A and B are shown apart, each in its own frame.
Chain A
Amino acid sequence: DADVTQTPRNRITKTGKRIMLECSQTKGHDRMYWYRQDPGLGLRLIYYSFDVKDINKGEISDGYSVSRQAQAKFSLSLESAIPNQTALYFCATSKPGTAEAFFGQGTRLTVV
């Protein structure tokens, strides 16, 4: 089983719909992240959480929200999806004091 699991793996949704992407981890790490990846733009940080009570905006948080339900679970929501949110989304984890981040397999989201 993967250490960082994202669901769903693929999703097509319509403009204006609310959608949630989920991430769970078995690595026991406190820190969790959401990134999006776009061709030519690389990976960009949306939100990050250093523990259950700590949520921080990344460089591109507009249009997104997150919830840290437990140490192992971190979900990303698009309240009203728009086509330019079509991208590959990755969840990642790390532990304090290290620079190593471990990524999930990604969720390919298409907004039509």
Chain B
Amino acid sequence: QKEVEQDPGPLSVPEGAIVSLNCTYSNSAFQYFMWYRQYSRKGPELLMYTYSSGNKEDGRSTAQVDKSSKYISLFIRDSQPSDSATYLCAGVTGGGNKLTFGTGTQLKVEL
């Protein structure tokens, strides 16, 4: 079993929709949870991260972590075609900086 599981998609939504991206994880030692966005032929770029449980909001995006169910979510409101990319979730243990990634979900926002 992979430590971080993520549905690969693709997920297609109309412009303006609310997007929900999700991951589950199995490593109870994860303390930080990250969301990266990766455009085609580019390196991943950090969108946001949360420490432990709870929510974090940044612009149109909200990240949620539920440690009791080992569930990570990223919500994107008012989705735009420029949001079309692959979204990668990752967990990090408190003792180091090694990221363990999910496989990524491909998102397409259509006009």
Contacts and interface: CB of A to CB of B under 8 A. Distances in A.
Given A40-B8, A43-B44, A43-B88, A100 B101 contact: no
Interface residues of B, number: 23
Main secondary structure of the interface of A (DSSP, over half): strand
A102 interface: yes
**Which range contains the number of A residues in contact with the other chain?**
20 to 34
B97 A96 contact: yes
Contacts of A98: 97
Contacts of B32: 99
A101 B101 contact: no
Contact of B98 (A48, A90, A104, A105): A48
B50 to A, nearest CB: 10
A31 interface: yes
B76 interface: no
Interface in A59-112: 90, 94, 96, 98-106
Contacts of B103: 40-42
B37 to A, nearest CB: 11
Contacts of B43: 4, 90, 103-106
The 8 A-B pairs of least Cβ separation, nearest first, read A103-B43, A99-B32, A42-B103, A43-B101, A99-B92, A42-B101, A94-B97, A103-B44
Given A90-B43, A99-B97, A103-B36, 19 more contacts: A31-B97, A33-B98, A42-B6, A42-B88, A42-B101, A42-B102, A42-B104, A43-B99, A43-B101, A45-B98, A99-B92, A100-B34, A100-B49, A101-B34, A101-B46, A103-B43, A103-B44, A105-B43, A106-B41
